[in-house]
Amino acid sequence: MYLLALHEDSNANLSLFKDGKMLLAIAEERLSRVKHQGGFPVRSIKFILDKYNLRLEDIDVIFCANKYHPLPRILWSKFPTFQHSFLGFMQKATIYYQHAIFKNAALRKYVEAFNKALLRRKLKRPVELSSHHSAHAYSAYLTSGFDKAVAVSTDNFGDGMSSAVFTCENGICKFLYGSSALNSPGQFYGTIAQLLGINPLLAGKMTGLAGYGNPDTVYPLIKNLFSLSDDHRDFILPPLLFQSPHRGIYKKLKKFKKEDVAAAAQRRFEEVMLKYIKEAIRETTIPYLCLAGGVYGNVRLNKKISELDKVEGVFIHPAMNDQGISLGAGLEYLSRNSGLKPFKLDNLYFGPGYDNEKIEAEIKKEKLSYKYLRDIETAIAQLLAKGKIVARFSGQMEYGLRALGNRSILYQTTDKSVNDWLNKKLKRSEYMPFAPVTMEEYAGQCYANIEKVKYNAKFMTIAVDTTEWMKQVSPGVVHVDGTTRPQLLEEKDNPSYYKILKEYHKITGIPSLINTSFNMHEEPIVCTPLDALKVFKESGLDYLAIGNYLITKAS
């Protein structure tokens, strides 16, 4: 039985299951090369059908997310070019529409029927629909390994709500309560990011900037922009309609240093969200948390949540933003129809993969000199130990937001200045230091209080404190606040990637390497061999290890 799950909004993506098992998950941006590509995932569907020699008629069930959001289904061709301005007319109109959906059951029923009709016309068959936050909740709960948990989905908005709380047991998520899209944590954080010149869809960059600021002078203003209702079940923001960057508090914020504004926003964000999470735990009396939604891309917030007294376990879904919607929708269908129970992810290599034959053909087309190396892992480790930068393209692409070794740029962790010069080579603007990949058996030597969040640390979804030893030997991956966002790697997760780290450790005594995503500024992570070769030629990288082939510009 083939199940195809779709998400057609911003960050369009799909997931394919066969007989209840995941075959492949991919975001449309990886194929279109347009960051946050929205609309119908045409390229992804074609890729999956071609790869598995299927026709759309061979798919037994199509399950789509977003019951109440018809805009991308109406503007099939226009929606992919839509750009978010968090205080612009389109954003405000969308949020007020979403609020109407939240308040009016009759409208919800009508829009759901309208969406089904649109999809039936598009796909030539009836489809089932999942709600936005339900898909988020199932994505986190069913991949958490917790039998009983409370799932919290929080983002900008989706299907009328900005946040929703679910109780989860025996594979089923039951909706408890939610907050309107008009009262949105994502809107608050994204608006401040936009005010600071950061694309609100990349608002996570503000988390790193906050580490360099002093929140005290700006906090009295910021606290008026985001708070919690008396019952701690809802959020409060100033009236949206008349909000403008040219008046009121937003205009006043422009007088302050960007770092200080970011620091104050991060402080307020953490305060409000922690109270919201505490209430969910208090009401459900469940000490295990499953988190999804773009808000939980904030690794500092995730760290604070994991440290709450009442939290015994926490899991953040690796594709916590809308890239995880299709997978969550597919898992929801399997839970409701096949009795799927919570499990743990062994790895996230669910994307497209390419063998040496296809890779070599692309290298020859680009007329690049290359060497075939049977033991390319040892060669990479030796180059890294000599201070070289090596981009790695190998196996299946990672699912989710983070590169986890197969589409990564690797470098040693010993250079504190690496954040500046390597980002310049990639034409990036970043405030967070690069993240490390660390051999799992050395986690205790490198990170403090890591045991509780080890599963999250496999996927780079949480910040942790570094030890004094780590600060001394790997300053290139330690933020100004003493934290980092690690990937813990076991041999079984990715034997080839692990071998590089093991060989590097043999040479240097250091069990960590810098792992940053293989892409240029505001481009998606590379997907195909051609993408990798293009970025390598445009960047200032030293070497490209692609499959079993090693390429250098000096060749």
What is the separation, in whole angstroms, between the first and last Cα of the chain? Answer: 49
- Rounded Cα distance, 272 and 312, in Å: 20
Q: Which of 203, 192, 435, 199 is nearest to 296 (CA)?
A: 203
Q: Which residues share a beta bridge with 551?
A: 544
φ, ψ of residue 110 to 5 degrees: the values are -65, -45
DSSP 319: T
Query: In the chain, what percentage of residues exceed pLDDT 90?
Result: 83
**Confidence label for 463 from pLDDT (cuts 50, 70 and 90):** very high
Q: pTM to 2 decimals?
A: 0.95
- Rounded Cα distance, 15 and 18, in Å: 10
Measured CA angle at 428 (ends 215, 519), to 5 deg: 130
Radius of gyration of the chain (CA): 23
**Confidence label for 70 from pLDDT (cuts 50, 70 and 90):** confident
Asked if 66 and 6 touch (Cβ cutoff 8 Å), the reply is: no
Evaluate if residue 428 carries a pLDDT over 80: no
Per-residue pLDDT of 172-226, as tens digits, reads: 999 999 999 999 999 999 999 999 998 888 888 899 899 999 999 999 999 999 9
Per CATH, the homologous superfamily of domain 2-132+326-338 is ATPase, nucleotide binding domain (3.30.420.40)
- Residue 38 half-sphere exposure, CB side, CA atoms within 13 Å? 20
Tracing tokens 């309609």 back to the chain, one arrives at: 241
3-state class (DSSP) for residue 85:
coil
Average pLDDT over residues 459-483: 96
Q: CATH 3.30.9.10: does it fit domain 140-323?
A: no
Per-residue pLDDT of 23-48, as tens digits, reads: 999 999 999 999 888 888 999 999 99
CATH class belonging to 356-552: alpha beta
**Which long-range contacts does 418-422 make (Cβ < 8 Å, 24+ apart)?**
418/476, 418/514, 419/476, 422/389, 422/516
Predicted pLDDT of residue 77: 60
The residue type found at 275 is K
| SS3 assignment for 195-260 | HCCCCHHHCCHHHHHHCCCCCCCCHHHHHHHCEECCCCCCEECCCCCCCCCCCHHHHHHCCCCHHH
Q: Which residues share a beta bridge with 427?
A: none
Per-residue pLDDT of 410-424, as tens digits, reads: 999 999 888 888 888
CATH fold match for the domains 2-132+326-338 and 140-323: yes
Predicted pLDDT of residue 83: 56
Asked if 212 and 259 touch (Cβ cutoff 8 Å), the reply is: yes
Evaluate if residue 237 carries a pLDDT over 50: yes
Domain ranges, ordered by start, for the chain: 2-132+326-338, 140-323, 356-552
Per-residue pLDDT of 337-376, as tens digits, reads: 999 999 999 999 999 999 999 999 999 999 899 999 999 9
Average pLDDT over residues 220-240: 96
For residue 472, the surrounding DSSP H or E stretch is helix 468-473
3-state class (DSSP) for residue 363:
helix
**Confidence label for 79 from pLDDT (cuts 50, 70 and 90):** low
Evaluate if residue 78 carries a pLDDT over 80: no
Per-residue pLDDT of 118-159, as tens digits, reads: 999 988 888 999 999 999 999 999 999 999 999 999 999 999
Average pLDDT over residues 54-75: 89
**Confidence label for 555 from pLDDT (cuts 50, 70 and 90):** very low
Per-residue pLDDT of 324-337, as tens digits, reads: 999 999 999 999 99
Burial 27-36, CB ≥16 within 10 A → b, else e? bbbbbbbebb
Q: Which of 493, 395, 378 is nearest to 437 (CA)?
A: 493
Predicted pLDDT of residue 423: 80
